[in-house]
Amino acid sequence: MTIDQRLNDFGYTLPTPSAPAASYVPVRRSGNLLYVSGQISTDDNGAVIKGQLGKDMDTAAGQKAAERCAINILAQVNANTALSNIKSIVKLTVLVASAPDFHEQHLVANGASDLFIKLLDDAGKHARAAFGVASLPLGAAVEIDAVIELDT
């Protein structure tokens, strides 16, 4: 089953990728690696999922926000190459807007990690770092960047 079929089977629709909000490119390819700039948490309508974990949002809501970041990463990939060209998710860096006493950034990050594994099986397993930060662009709850290996 292809990643496109799995997305459909799980009820996901890739949004139109967002344009950069500052001076950077959303995706940069180097050899067989695709570097996807940070994608913030947005809902199905493109509205930013805002909040600070441990203050405005609980861990489960943060996981959903992280999952939406993963969908936005795939939308950026899809705008640059076929999703079928994904060989593996190499690394994610997950930034979580967090209250000072929130310590479950690693669990929030699982929202994205679990989705990639669900869609890509072993190819979705990746290295990862998760950080708590005071705030993110546009008030987003979560931002994730990715390094993705391509077959071609």
35 token code pair? 């570097």
Domains contained in the chain, CATH given: 54-152 (3.30.1330.40)
pLDDT greater than 80 at residue 152: no
Asked if residues 64 and 128 have their Cβ atoms less than 8 Å apart, the reply is no
- By the 10 Å C-beta count (0-12 exposed, 13-18 middle, 19+ buried), 58 is classed as middle
The percentage of the chain sitting over the pLDDT mark of 90, rounded to a whole number, equals 95
Residue 1 banded pLDDT, cuts 50, 70, 90: confident
Alpha helices by DSSP H, 10-136: 59-80, 105-120
Average of pLDDT values for 81-95? 97
Average of pLDDT values for 73-81? 97
pLDDT at 111: 98
Of 130, 131, 132, give the one whose Cα is nearest residue 110. 130
Regarding pTM above 0.85, the answer is: yes
Residue 21 banded pLDDT, cuts 50, 70, 90: confident
Residue 12, number of CB atoms within 10 A of its CB: 17
Average of pLDDT values for 128-141? 97
The percentage of the chain sitting over the pLDDT mark of 70, rounded to a whole number, equals 100
